[in-house]
Structure 1
Amino acid sequence: MNGKSNLGLIVGFVLLWNSGFIGAEYGLPYTGPFTLLFYRYIALASLLCIYLLLAKQLQWTGWKNVWPQLLNGALAHGVWLGCVLIAIDYGVPAGIVALVVALQPLATGALSGLVTGESTPWNRWLGLFIGFAGVAIPVLFRVDFDNAEEVFAWLIPLGSVVAITIATLFQRRLNLEKDYEPMHGGLSLFYQSIATVFAVALPAIFLERLEVQWNLAFILSMSWLIMAVSLGAYSLMWVLIHRIDATRVAALFYLGPPVTMVMAWIAFGDEVEAVDLIGLSLVMLGVILTYMKYPFRRRQTTD
């Protein structure tokens, strides 16, 4: 029964988390990327504030504990999602955006030695190289290099990769410090949401003037992004972390590109080309290579 329960949670998490790409694409026709994030995270921070007050968990744990959450929020939510939404707004298919973002675990695996002080094994660099090749194939197949704006649009998701990689490596560095006290999920997300609001406020106000076409489609899109993705998927992630080890939960993010491609095909009719499948296969191979623990380890012989 427990196995079936975990399977249901896993399926629910994967579907809800990756539906964020689709929900955002439904909402973008009615507002700009930064304005969408601005209102989304104001609403999310407000809901979390009410919940934490009722649960008597809203607290200031000291600047030393709070500022890392603010930085991670600005990077992992503000910059990461900002680049994702800008790319989608420019017309880059959601499935391809998800494929590019899938480079993050490869980059993190290859660069983690900078944080831990350990040498980076050859398989991680090879995995990163193969992963980049997997992303490059479908992108090169689609992009028109004579159109500078289009080339720029296809490069934008790389900003997401850089931001989330920096945030992940920063968090790993914190976890290595003996006096670091991790903040519980709800309070952490609250501070990260506040940081995201401030991170996107200026471009939302001065570039997009907070303009929104308030209609049912936009309200439903925002409601889904807040309730199903930010709260629902995030809550399921923490439940899964308590039930199964964190490494296995992290591996679920690798399902993002194929799941998003299928969702985008169902929702918007985005075609999945043969080159997309080739690229997807290479990215998955890169992930496997990056996270092999003992690649081609020699047998130890005894005399």
Structure 2
Amino acid sequence: MKKSTILLIVGFVLLWNSGFIGAEYGLPFTGPFTLIFWRYLAVTALIALYLIIRRRLKWLGLKVISLNMLIGFLAHGVWLTCVLLALDNKVPAGIVALVVALQPLATGALSGYVTREETNKYQWWGLILGFIGVVITVAFRIDFSSSSSVFGYLIPLGSVIGITIATLIQRRMEINDEKEKLPLDQSLFYQSLATMLALAFPAIFVEKLATDWVPEFIYAMTWLILAVSLGAYLLMWRLIERLDATRVASLFYLGPPVTMLMAWLTFGDKINITDVGGIAVVSFGILLTQKK
């Protein structure tokens, strides 16, 4: 694997999972719908300004724009909304991480049908090992005495469905070099626009855009906008251009252990020996998914 691709992977994993820390900072000051709405209103405005300066903001046809907006709605809107709603419904973060970690298995199972990229035996073993590593990491942290509604526990499945479909659609466009494929800056603009428009209704009419604009919230939003929504997603689509869908999806297995490490550094959360063991199993599983 090229050094540049390895750097992309490291950057993506760190920036993507820092979003959970940013959300934990931001949620006490606003609702989940409103947080995502403000975030993507700012992201859309920033990318629009960039495209205007570069004279690249243009109408590209309904079919092209609608497909890219669908990808954005699934990869940004559905993914984030389901994660934040689950946390807001008091579902333990470990449960959310565990359910969301089903995404690599879902992508591996469906990629052969959608992208015609077969998942080889090494990748299947890697996906299974990665999932076992996530279970090891999360299971010992779950408070089984805490009960939540069945609906709350099912919410993260929406994130799995959304990001899996978005990844497969994007990868298929990359493989077939379809005309709907846009340059990254234009694609991210329409993806962000779709997310902002989709979240506007619940943010305005359900949560009334209620927000406590304290410095902590502003700092969290700045990080979520620049580092996660722009940085992490840009790196993810770059990786999808270089690697097959299963290999990119396997990186999501690093979510729970990396997030726990960040929480330890940021909030002083305790790291258990089972966390270290889980990280080791996850890392070995991901190495197998990269093997051809």
Range into which the TM-score falls when normalised by the shorter chain? 0.7 to 0.9
Counterparts of 1:84 and 1:55, CA distance in 2: 35
In the alignment, structure 1 residue 28 sits paired with structure 2 residue 27: yes
Question: C-alpha separation between the residues in 2 aligned to 1:175 and 1:169?
Answer: 10
The one-letter amino acid paired with 2:242 is A
CA 1:263–1:154 in structure 2 vs 1: closer, same or farther (change >3 Å)? farther
Deviates more, 1:67-76 or 1:138-147: 138-147
Aligned to 1:79: 78
Please state if 1:268 is matched with 2:267: yes
Q: Distance between the aligned counterparts of 2:130 and 2:251, measured in 1?
A: 17
Q: Distance in 2 between matches of 1:44 and 1:197?
A: 9
**SS of 1:271 mapped into structure 2:** coil
Which residue matches 2:14? 15
Q: Give 1:17 deviation, angstroms.
A: 3.2
- Is the 2:133–2:277 Cα contact (8 Å) retained in structure 1? yes
Bigger radius of gyration: 1
**Which residue number corresponds to residue 296 of structure 1?**
none
SS in 2 for 1:148: coil
Say if 2:219 is the partner of 1:220: yes
CA distance in structure 2 between the partners assigned to 1:165 and 1:37 by the alignment: 20
Q: After alignment, is 116-125 or 73-82 more displaced?
A: 116-125
Aligned residue runs from structure 1 range 171-250, under 5 A: 171-177=170-176, 179-234=178-233, 246-247=242-243, 250=248
TM-score w.r.t. length of structure 1: 0.78
- Corresponding residue for residue 54 of structure 1: 53
Unaligned runs of 5+ in 2: none
What is the alpha-carbon distance in structure 2 between the residues aligned to residue 16 and residue 218 of structure 1? 18
Is the 8 Å Cα contact of residues 25 and 88 (structure 1) preserved in structure 2? Answer: no
- Per-residue CA deviations over 1:241-266 (Å, capped at 9, x if unaligned) read 6xxx8239947666444332211112
How far, CA to CA, are the matches of 1:38 and 1:129 in structure 2? 35
Partner of 2:147: 147
Work out the CA distance in 2 between the residues paired with 1:280 and 1:199: 36
Distance (Å, rounded) in 2 between the aligned partners of 1:91 and 1:81: 16
Secondary structure, aligned partner of 1:61: coil
- How far the C-alpha of 1:117 sits from its partner, in A, is 4.5
1:162 alignment counterpart? 161
Q: Which amino acid aligns with 2:271?
A: V
Tell me which moved more, 44-53 or 175-184.
175-184
What is the SS of the residue equivalent to 2:243?
helix
- Structure 1 residues 160 and 284: CA distance shift in structure 2, 3 A: farther
Q: Percent identity?
A: 58
- CA contact under 8 A between 2:33 and 2:81: conserved in structure 1? yes
Task: Tell me, in whole angstroms, the C-alpha distance in 1 between the residues paired with 2:15 and 2:117.
Answer: 36
**Structure 1 139/229 Cα, relative in aligned 2: closer, same or farther at 3 Å?**
closer
- CA-to-partner distance for each residue in 1:72-109, whole Å, 9 max, x for gaps? 11110001111222233345566775565444233212
> What amino acid sits opposite 2:171 in the alignment?
R
Residues 171-205 of structure 1 show CA distances to partners (whole Å, capped at 9, x for unaligned) of: 23334446434211111111001110122223323
Amino acid at match of 2:17: N
- Alignment coverage as a number of residue pairs: 287
Return the alpha-carbon distance in structure 2 between the equivalents of residues 93 and 138 of structure 1.
14
Check the 8 A contact 2:130/2:283 in 1, yes or no. yes
- Whether 1:68 aligns to 2:67 is yes
Amino acid at match of 1:157: P
Gaps of 5+ in 1: 294-303
Q: Please give the alpha-carbon distance, in whole angstroms, between the structure 1 residues aligned to 2:233 and 2:45.
A: 16
| CA pair 155-128 structure 1, distance change in 2 beyond 3 A | farther
- Counterpart AA for 2:88: D
RMSD over aligned Cα atoms:
3.5
Q: 2 CA distance for matches of 1:133 and 1:16?
A: 24
Which whole-Å CA distance do the structure 1 matches of 2:160 and 2:218 have between them? 29
CA deviation profile, 1:139-181 (whole Å, cap 9, x unmatched):
44414266133x6545533332221111112223334446434
Classify 1:261/1:154 alpha carbon distance in 2 versus 1 (closer, same or farther; 3 Å). farther
The answer as to whether partners of 1:94 and 1:260 remain within 8 angstroms in 2 is: no
Amino acid at match of 1:192: Q
